Structures are given as C-alpha cells and as structure tokens.
Structure 1
Amino acid sequence: MRNTPVAGDDGTLAAPPGTTAAPPGTVRRAGRLARSVPLAVPALVSLALGLWGIDRHDSMWRDESVTYQVAHRSLGDLWGLLGHIDAVHGLYYLLMHAVFAVWEGGGLVALRLPSTVATALAVAGVGAIGARLAGRLAGTLAGLVLAVLPVTQQYAQEGRSYALVTAGVTWATYFFVRAAGDLRGAGGVHAAEKPRTGNPPPGADVRPGGGSPDRWWVAYALALGIAAWLHEFAVLAPAAHGLTLWWARATRRMWFGWGIAAGCATAALLPLVVVSAGQAEQQLGWLGRPGPSAWLQFVAVSAAGALLCRLLLRAGSADALVRLSLPLLIAPTGLLMTVSLVKPWYVDRYVLYGMTGLALPAGAVLARAIGRRHRLAPVPRAPAACLTAVVAVAVLLPWSLLVRSPQSRKDDVVAVAHAVERTARQGDAVLFMPSRRREWLLSYPRIHDRLDDLALARPPASSRTLQGTELPASEIRRRILAAHRVIALTDPPGQPLDPFPEEKVKRQLLSEDFEVCERVPLLGAQLLVYARPGHCRPVVPP
C-alpha cells in the first residue's frame, strides 16, 4: 500500500503515520502548485489559442477598424470624440491609445493582444470559481471548457472591449463568491443549505483565513465598476448575483454587503450613463428587436445550462455552483433581450460574460464523470477517454478554424483597402455609399489621402466623429458632376439603401451620368469604378 499524504487539521498536507514528514517548505510549495493548476492550465491553453492565428490572415473588420483609428488619435481629439459619441467605449479606447503609444508598430497583434490576455484572465477566473465551489478538477475543466468555446475564441481575437468586460465580470463573480462565504452555508447562507456530509467537494479550495468579507466586497465593487466602465451592460451582472443570494437564502448581512458593493459600482457608473444616454440614439439606433433566431439561441443555451445544472443537483453535488451559474447564464441576457422588446439594445456580445455560467456546470459535470467509479476496467476506459477527446477536437476544430478566417466577420477592411490601392489612379475620386463605410479606408490614411473624397466636409478628428461629416446634397451633386472617374465603395447588392438626400444624390448621379467600368466583389462590400460614358478603359490583368 502506498504512503499517501493526508490532510492535517489546518488543511495542509501531512505525511501518513510511520513515514518521514516532508519539509514544511516542500509541502507548502506542493500545495501552492496544486491550487494554481485550475487557474494556470486553462489560462495557458486560452493564451495559446488566442495567439494562434491572431492576425486572422491579415484581416480586420469595421468595428476593429474603429478601435484602430480612434486609438491613434491624440488624447485631445479622443476626448472630443467621446463627448459626441462612443462614450460607452471610452475607457477601452484610452487603454488602446496607451497600447499603441507603447507599441506603435504592433499592428493587428497589438490591436488584439489585450483581448487575448483578458480572455486568459477570464478563463483563469472561471477556474478559480470552479475550484472554490466544486473542486480543483471541476475548476480546471470549467476553465478549459470556456477557453475552447468557439465564441470565446472569436472574441479573444477581437479588437473590441468584450473580452475585457468578461474578465472583469468573472473576477467580480469570484470576489462575490469569497465575500458570500462560498455560498456553502458558511459566512451568511442559511443553515439549511449546508452540505449534507459537512465536507467540501474533493479538491475544493476551502483554506481557512480567507479574510474579512468586507475586503472581498470592496474587490467586488472595484472589479464590477471597471467592467461596467468598459461596457455599461456589465451592470446586469449584479442582477444575477442577487438571484444567487436569493436562491441561497442569504442572511441580511450578506444582502447588505452585496447591496452596498453593487450600489457603489452602479453609482460610479452614473457619469458615463448620463453622457451615453444622450448618445444612445446614434449609438444603438441601428439595432432592431431580437428576432426568432436570437430567442431560439437564448432558449437553447439556457436549456443546455439548465440540463447540466439538473445533472449536478440530481447527483447531490455542487449545489453552490448551480446557484451561481444558472442566474449568470440566464439573467443578464434575458433582461437585455426583454428590455430590447421596447428599446432595441440587444447584441449577444454585449453579455458575452454570461457564457461563464455555461462553462462552470459543464466543468463540474465532466469532473464528476471522470471521478465516478465505473465497473469498467481501466484499460477499456482509456480508449473511451481518447475517443471522447478525438470527437471533441473533430467538432471544435472546424469552428476554431472558421473564427480565425476573414469570413467569420461581416467585412474585411484590409481587403477593401488593398483593392482600392490596386484600382485607384492619379486624380480618382471616391464616394462611400453609405457614408459610414468611410471606415473602410480610415485606418489606411495613406490610401484614403490619395483620393478626392467628394462628399467629405470635415474629417473625423476635427469633426469629433467616427467617420467625419459630409457636405449637403447640393454640394455633393456639384462635386460629382465635376469628376471624371469615381471609385464607389458600397454594401453588397441586396442591402437596404439609406433614404437620406445625400445618399440619394450619390446613387442618382452615378447611375445617370456615369457607367460602371469595373465591379470588384469583396467580403461584405463591393468596389465599383465609374467613369463618364465611353471613357472606360479595358482592365489589364495584373
């Protein structure tokens, strides 16, 4: 029989009777190493996945282009922009401004690396939560589940704030768990919720001396406040935490601590709410109400999470994890979709952090399946585990490859800029139809400045806008009629046409006074070369 270390009264490892005890320093190092596994292993896997193909075949879509060109503005121009639009992303833009100030030549890697690192932090946070509530194996597997989800991999390589918001909410949730006494019946949860056996899950990190709940509530408020300043809809996370406390039958003290912390985080957000409220129409005016497909997706994901939680409850394990996960998965998304029936504000990436509520029970279920004692001998179980791993890779690999391709986004700014560079001649003019598609060239000023932008009145920085301001329809008409060759950058055929007079005059004059010389279809865009009738030159292949 092997001499296996046993746990002492203080939670540290001790040598079994009749053996020589290991040095205390060795035991402590071994304990720290074991406790770091649920954080480190998923984080390293997430980091590797994020760095894999981070340039996405040298592509960038228009939302990332906004980040790129805004982050390169001066602090004065950036501050002026936030007073007019995009205040909700202000903290993120300031962060990216600092990134490019330090790493000017970083290009697409610098644009996406903060999201890659933030995803690794979020995955580590899920591992920490899972280890705390269901054991180290469950925490490790939960972190790995979140890391390999295609939606996680997508936003780990996105030059926007959503991965950073997920990291902030995830660690706020960890601090919430610590402040609430792990939701296990200790530190404020009703005594009826204590585990039947009185023992924590195997491998759970329940060391004594966790510190006063007050400091964890302070950490919770800070993490939540940062996440909300990165994107306001992070403020929906406390609603999920409140449901968790209700489900766990928390004491008044826990409700008081949570209420003060969540209230402080919300109060700190009020200046941003006041500014962004005046920008809501132009910021979110393009959104429609959630359609049947969005509701179906929400119901399917929620049902999957509920099924996983049901399996855990039937097994009589990880009750606290269930109470935490299910509200986090359902409440923020459900609230935002419900509000969007009146005020269309819902986009799934705005509540991306809800996916942690799916990863946590998935990791716990996997851990239970691995830890169960089967009647099967170890030899047959090994091939079964290998087969499961092969099936998982076969299912996930196509999705992983897809999110690293240009086709995974709505358009490709880089491809549009390169097409314009190949097509444009000296003296050519350019029109963006609609005007917001000017974003396709704003991250490439070297190319944009070669062309005569017929409709542009004031450029983005000086006008404190994202895409600049355009001339009135009469002036656009005069300038188009004076042009001889125009490159038009438009949406693909079949997209809705803007009804504004400025857009109507562009379409009318190009169709009546010019002819199409060349049409170049692109991902989410098309390039059309117009010239006066009879002045089209044959296109010479490169």
Structure 2
Amino acid sequence: MGVLSNNDMGELRLQLPESSHNAVARLVRQPWLWCILLLAAGVRFYGFTASAIWCDEGSSLMLSAYPLAEIWSHASHDVHPPLYFMLLHGWMAMFGDSLASIRSLSVLPGIATVMLGMWLVRLVATQRAALLAGLLLALLPTAVRYSQEVRMYALLGVWLIAATIALVYWIKAPHSYRYPLIYTLLMAAAFYTHYFTAFCVIAHWLYLLLCGRATRWLIKRPAWWLANVAIVLLFLPWLPGLVDLLQHMAELKSGGDVGWEPAVDARSLPAMLWQLLTQDEGDSLPWPLFWLPPLALLGSMVWMALRDATPHKFTSLIVIYTLLPILAIYAVSFASPLFIERYVMFAALGLPLLVAIAVDRLLTHKRALAIAILALFIGTEAVGLRSNFSSDADHFDRLVEHVNQQFKPGDRIVVSDLFWYFSFVYYNKTGFEPMLYTPPLEDGTSGRPNDYGFGTLVNGHGQTIYVDRLSDLPPGPGRVWLISSKVQPDDFSSIPVAWHKARDLSVDDTQARLYLTCPGAECGAEPEWSQLDAKAHP
C-alpha cells in the first residue's frame, strides 16, 4: 500500500462532517484570510462612486422607490424578480439613497462571496487552496465590476455559492435536516433574485446524477425531493407574474428590454471568457492568442472533472457549476441572444476556485508550472482590473447638476429616451418631473413604452410625462431643456423652427440644450454659462 500524500490525507479527512467544521474554523483563524477580505473590500470600494448612475441602475432605484406591494406588482412586469428591489427599498430607508449607500448594497455581497468561495474550497480541498481561491476571487474583474453596480448580480452570487456549500455539507451529513432546509431557503432566495438560478439547479442535479454512487444516492432520498418541491412551493406566489411576463415577451422585445444583444457565433464563447477575465472581448488579439487560452482553460476544467477520483467528486461539482450555465446560456443564445456578461457572472465565480485547486495540486509535484499558472492568471486579472479602474467614468451627473443650478420655475425638461431618463430622475433636484420624448415610430404607430420592461415604471403617469411631439408641449414661460445623447441624427427628430437655442452643454456623450420658445425679453435673461462651460470641458 503506497504512502498517502498530505493532499490525499486532507481529502480523506474531509469525508467526515466533523472535519469540515474544524477545517473551516482553522481557516477563519488564518490572518491571511482577513488580509484577502481586506483586499477584496479595497478593490471593490475603490472608485465605486466615480461613475454616474446608468440606465439599469436608475431603473433599480425607481422600482425600489415604490412601496413593497407595488414593487411586487411592477417587478412582475419587469425582466427580474422582486427580492433585490425589496432589499434595496429597505436599505435606502435605513441608509439613504446616496451613491455610496446604494452601491454598498452590492459591494458587501461581493466581499461576502470571496469569503464563501474560500469556505467552499476549504470543504473540498486544502487550506492553501482555499486561500489561493480567495485571492483570485478577490481580484476577479467581472466580480469586482458587478460589485459596484446597483443591480442584483453580486447578491445572486452570494445565494448560489452559499447554496452549493449547503449541498456539500448535506452530502457529507445526509441524515441532517439542517442542510436541506438551508439549501431550500437559499435557492428560493436566488430564484426571487434572478431567473437564471434555474441553471444552477440543473448543475446541481447533473452533478448528483453523473458523479457516481457516492452522490447519486442523494437523489433517491425523500429529503432531496422535498427540498426541491419546497423551492417550487416557495416560488409559487411569483409564478403568475412570471407566466404573464412570458406571455408578453413580444412586448418586452418591442420595448428593447430583451433581444438587444447581438446574435452569438463561434467567437462569442472565447470572447466571453476574455470579457470575464480582462473586461475586453479580445477582438484586437492575434487569432492564436484569442482562441488558445480560453480553449485551454475550458479543456483544463473538463480534465479536472474527468480526473477527479475523490469519493464525492466535489471538484467536479465546481466544474459543472461553472461550465454548465455558461455553455447552456451560450447554446440558448443561438435562438434568443442572452449571452451577456452579467448574466453568467455567478458561474464565472467558479473560475478562480478551480484555478486555485489546480495550482494547489500542482505545487506538490510541478511547482514551477503551478507558479507560472498562478502568475499568469493573476496577471490576466490585473489587466482586467486596470481596465475597470482606468476606463472613462460617466459624468452624466455633472450635466444634470448644471441643469439643477440653472433651472427656473416654469422651465420644462424633456429627456430623449428611457436610457437617460432613469438616471436624470435620480440626479434631478429641480422639483419638476422630467418629461419623456415618445415620438411615433416610422410606421406611424405609437412610440410610447408598453406596460412591460422599463415601461412598467413610467406608464402609470405617462399621460403627464409623455411628449410625442415637442410642438405639443403645453404653454409655459418659454424655456425648455432637451436632454439627449450627442449621436447623429439628433434624438429629437423635429425641433420646432420657432424655437431658438440659447446655449448647449456637452458632458461626455450627452448634452443639455436650452431652447427659448418665446422672444428673449419674455423668456427672461439667459443664464450665465461661462463657468459651466469651463467645468464641462476641462
């Protein structure tokens, strides 16, 4: 009988549930763990308020501002379930709606995910692998990016990694009722956060089915079926809204809330991996460099799963958790494009965990190769973090602040489309409810939003904010602010010839134009713009 290595001994010790608790306790006492969490906090808090609120974040804020019952109702017409918006509603009630406050609700789950990633790896591998996983997950560019947005993606990562941990504990202690209960609650919370939780459920089922008798027996236990039935029952109150949403997918597509992503092709998969790791799709790379590293990464993960000889094949669990959602969403996107970075971010969290496990194993026999892989992965992540931190911040807030300063009672504000409308509402301090430009479509049909997608947030008061033609504006003192992008042709397809532009201000790719719709003497003196121009064009 051969002598077992330290890693083998660790794997054997982890088969007992008591050793799992002890291993995690020892991990928590490691000073390096707390250093890694500080690093995760540092990169996520760094510059997290530099960029202005953008459209999707603005829609989160507008939806979360409703009372809880109305959040439930409006979210049933939106493309995402209501839990994140309800939590954001309570968060803003306690901590306010400052940019630092609202984005912290994503930063904190992002940091928690790093801790959970170390926890998961410690359950299935060594303490060294767990610390390496924490380091690599702390620096994962896509995780950092979506820890700085007022959206639900960081929270989804917490639920699904935690549910996977609960599944591991359950497999190790199959007679415990605590772990199936925890698993049920976490998966239900995930479903109420994002519909793509379904891909994680499929991954867990596939792992149990494919990874041998040591795990397949769990499917035969009543507790597994009861847990899955309980998840469905907990989700049933939301099911009518989901069914209604699916029935109106055509309206969602017509409103631009789904189906706007370009169709996928063979290059889309490696491009996604580059995007997740470097925040760039790699289009400028030579073709060998574009194709080979992503394919090598995918092949290595498959190889790790096939070579997993441990009794419970937990490494295979992480491989399936990572690969199945990415590959499944990629495949589905050939029919309906959904292959979007933020939608697969929860699965990408498994990439650094697998690299850490592989490096830890290679350090025993192939130290040079292990160090090279570790350095290469960290270097790739550094490129992505640099891209995150050095990319030009959006300063739409400056443009709105200029309008706030120069606004006069009786002025009207018209925003060219919903992309800018939600952000403008967040920064607006004028006391005037901005109007939304809704010109008829080329075929003469109405250009107003429908009741689904973003339209559910504005249709309730559409009669007071929709402007189909600028000439239809109700009589007023004669000053109108037009807020739009700087693209050509002009977002405002037809500006009345009698209007006279007093001034315009450009910030990044947006502009605010002040028009006088009456003779200058009647409209009053023009605002002083010289200092504003200096700020807008440093």
Which TM-score band (shorter chain)?
0.7 to 0.9
Structure 1 residue 54 and structure 2 residue 43: aligned? no
Whole-Å separation in 2 of the counterparts to 1:101 and 1:337: 39
Which residue of 1 is the match for residue 91 of structure 2?
Answer: 99
Question: What is the DSSP-based 3-state SS (H/G/I as helix, E as strand, rest coil) of the residue aligned with 2:335?
Answer: coil
1:203-352 matches, within 5 Å, as 210=173, 212-250=175-213, 253-257=217-221, 258-279=224-245, 281=249, 285-286=255-256, 287-288=258-259, 290-292=263-265, 294-298=268-272, 303-309=295-301, 312=304, 320-352=313-345
Is the alpha carbon distance of 1:334 and 1:312 closer, same or farther for their aligned partners in structure 2, counting shifts above 3 Å?
Answer: closer
Question: What is the DSSP-based 3-state SS (H/G/I as helix, E as strand, rest coil) of the residue aligned with 2:415?
Answer: strand
Counterpart selection for 2:363 from 357, 364, 370: 370
Which runs of no fewer than 5 residues in structure 1 stay unpaired? 1-6, 13-27, 182-209, 498-505
Question: What is the DSSP-based 3-state SS (H/G/I as helix, E as strand, rest coil) of the residue aligned with 1:53?
Answer: coil
Whole-Å separation in 1 of the counterparts to 2:419 and 2:500: 24
Whole-Å separation in 1 of the counterparts to 2:206 and 2:33: 26
The number of aligned residues is 467
Contact 1:305 1:361 in 2 (8 A): no
Aligned-residue offset at 1:102: 1.6
CA displacement, residues 181-214 of structure 1 (integer Å, 9 cap, x when unaligned): 4xxxxxxxxxxxxxxxxxxxxxxxxxxxx46254
Aligned-residue offset at 1:431: 1.1
Counterpart selection for 1:152 from 143, 147, 151: 143
Which residue of 2 is the match for residue 400 of structure 1?
Answer: 385
Whole-Å separation in 1 of the counterparts to 2:245 and 2:24: 51
Aligned-residue offset at 1:332: 1.6
Whole-Å separation in 1 of the counterparts to 2:230 and 2:338: 24
Corresponding letter in the other structure for 2:400: A
Aligned-residue offset at 1:363: 0.7
Which residue of 2 is the match for residue 493 of structure 1?
Answer: 487
Counterpart selection for 2:82 from 72, 90, 95: 90
Whole-Å separation in 2 of the counterparts to 1:158 and 1:529: 31
CA displacement, residues 147-192 of structure 1 (integer Å, 9 cap, x when unaligned): 20111111111111110101100011111222234xxxxxxxxxxx
Structure 1 residue 166 and structure 2 residue 149: aligned? no
CA displacement, residues 398-442 of structure 1 (integer Å, 9 cap, x when unaligned): 53354346736xx55423322322454453321111255321221
CA displacement, residues 34-54 of structure 1 (integer Å, 9 cap, x when unaligned): 465496554443233222333
1:17-56 matches, within 5 Å, as 32-34=25-27, 37=30, 42-55=36-49
Whole-Å separation in 2 of the counterparts to 1:100 and 1:296: 39
Aligned-residue offset at 1:362: 0.6
Whole-Å separation in 2 of the counterparts to 1:389 and 1:420: 50
Is the alpha carbon distance of 1:222 and 1:430 closer, same or farther for their aligned partners in structure 2, counting shifts above 3 Å?
Answer: same
Structure 1 residue 541 and structure 2 residue 530: aligned? yes
Question: What is the DSSP-based 3-state SS (H/G/I as helix, E as strand, rest coil) of the residue aligned with 1:88?
Answer: coil
CA displacement, residues 196-234 of structure 1 (integer Å, 9 cap, x when unaligned): xxxxxxxxxxxxxx4625432332222111111111211
Which residue of 2 is the match for residue 136 of structure 1?
Answer: 127
Contact 2:136 2:356 in 1 (8 A): yes
1:168-187 matches, within 5 Å, as 168-181=159-172
Whole-Å separation in 2 of the counterparts to 1:310 and 1:342: 26
CA displacement, residues 45-65 of structure 1 (integer Å, 9 cap, x when unaligned): 32332223332x263222222
Whole-Å separation in 1 of the counterparts to 2:376 and 2:141: 15
Question: What is the DSSP-based 3-state SS (H/G/I as helix, E as strand, rest coil) of the residue aligned with 2:512?
Answer: strand
Whole-Å separation in 2 of the counterparts to 1:320 and 1:30: 18
Is the alpha carbon distance of 1:158 and 1:473 closer, same or farther for their aligned partners in structure 2, counting shifts above 3 Å?
Answer: closer
Which residue of 2 is the match for residue 522 of structure 1?
Answer: 507
Aligned-residue offset at 1:95: 0.8
Counterpart selection for 2:493 from 507, 511, 518: 507
Which residue of 1 is the match for residue 5 of structure 2?
Answer: none
Whole-Å separation in 2 of the counterparts to 1:171 and 1:82: 25
Contact 2:482 2:513 in 1 (8 A): yes
Contact 1:88 1:276 in 2 (8 A): no
Contact 2:411 2:476 in 1 (8 A): no
Aligned-residue offset at 1:123: 1.7
Is the alpha carbon distance of 1:68 and 1:336 closer, same or farther for their aligned partners in structure 2, counting shifts above 3 Å?
Answer: same
Contact 1:42 1:120 in 2 (8 A): no
Which residue of 2 is the match for residue 477 of structure 1?
Answer: 471
Aligned-residue offset at 1:479: 1.6
Contact 1:433 1:489 in 2 (8 A): yes
Structure 1 residue 531 and structure 2 residue 511: aligned? no
Provide TM-score, normalisation by structure 1. 0.72
Question: What is the DSSP-based 3-state SS (H/G/I as helix, E as strand, rest coil) of the residue aligned with 1:335?
Answer: helix
Whole-Å separation in 2 of the counterparts to 1:434 and 1:159: 20
Aligned-residue offset at 1:496: 10
Contact 2:55 2:418 in 1 (8 A): no
Corresponding letter in the other structure for 1:248: C
Question: What is the DSSP-based 3-state SS (H/G/I as helix, E as strand, rest coil) of the residue aligned with 2:530?
Answer: coil
Which residue of 1 is the match for residue 411 of structure 2?
Answer: 428
CA displacement, residues 246-305 of structure 1 (integer Å, 9 cap, x when unaligned): 331246531235444334323422332420342353556523254346444247676354
Identical columns (%): 18
| Larger gyration radius, structure 1 or structure 2 | 1
Which residue of 2 is the match for residue 193 of structure 1?
Answer: none
CA displacement, residues 461-495 of structure 1 (integer Å, 9 cap, x when unaligned): xx972475146767863326766332111234058
Which runs of no fewer than 5 residues in structure 2 stay unpaired? 1-8, 15-20, 277-293, 439-447, 532-538
Which residue of 2 is the match for residue 442 of structure 1?
Answer: 425
Counterpart selection for 1:417 from 383, 388, 400: 400
